[in-house]
A = this chain, B = another copy of it.
Amino acid sequence: MHCGEMGSRWGFNRTIGQMCGLLIITKNPMTANEIADALSISRGNVSMGIKELQSWQLIKVQHIPGDRKEYYAPAGDIWDMANRVFEERKKREIDPTLSLLRDNLLDEAVNEDELYAQKQMGEIHNLLETVTKWSSELQRLTPEQLNKLMKLGSGIGKVIDLKDKIFKKE
């Protein structure tokens, strides 16, 4: 139920949030009908939800030999899923803005107001590019590296300073 309430904050709707939560905490894969029953929603709704969750690559279909039904289960572990949600949201929330800003920055400003507007848009563009680049590079790290990095926490500041010293000495 909580996943439902949070669903819309996370980028999908109530029912889809519930479906996702249900599949995560349920050990065995479930059929569409089981999902509909468990959540008391219509069979058609489940079908839509499945399609949506597949488009986020959060669930996968499984077949059980000798059974014609389709069984659904989470695709990957919690980290994988979080990554997918993160990526998908970047695609929806950042990328379109980034490309609009790029277009706009190509236009010549014809007066002071437009100049200011462009300056501000430039700032936003910078910010979004930095964040985008950074996040894609974090994903290139091995899980162990990532883990170390996270554990490091604000100690990262010291490591950066350290690195600076070393390179200056050389």
Q: Which of A124-170 contact B (CB under 8 A)?
A: 124, 127, 130-131, 133-134, 137-138, 140-142, 145, 148-150, 152-154, 156-157, 159-164, 166
Q: How many residues of A contact B (CB 8 A)?
A: 53
If A6-B96, A9-B11, A137-B156 are given as contacts, then 14 extra A-B residue pairs at C-beta distance below 8 Å, sorted by A number, are A6-B93, A26-B116, A26-B117, A27-B112, A27-B113, A82-B127, A82-B131, A130-B150, A134-B153, A140-B154, A141-B157, A142-B157, A145-B157, A159-B163
Chain A interface, >50% SS class: helix
How many identical subunits does the complex contain? 2
Given B10, B127, B134, B142, which contacts A78 in the complex, CB threshold below 8 Å? B127
Report chain B residues within 8 Å CB of A121: 25
| Residue A41 at the chain B interface, CB threshold 8 Å | no
In the bound assembly, the distance between CA atoms of A113 and B25 in angstroms comes to: 8
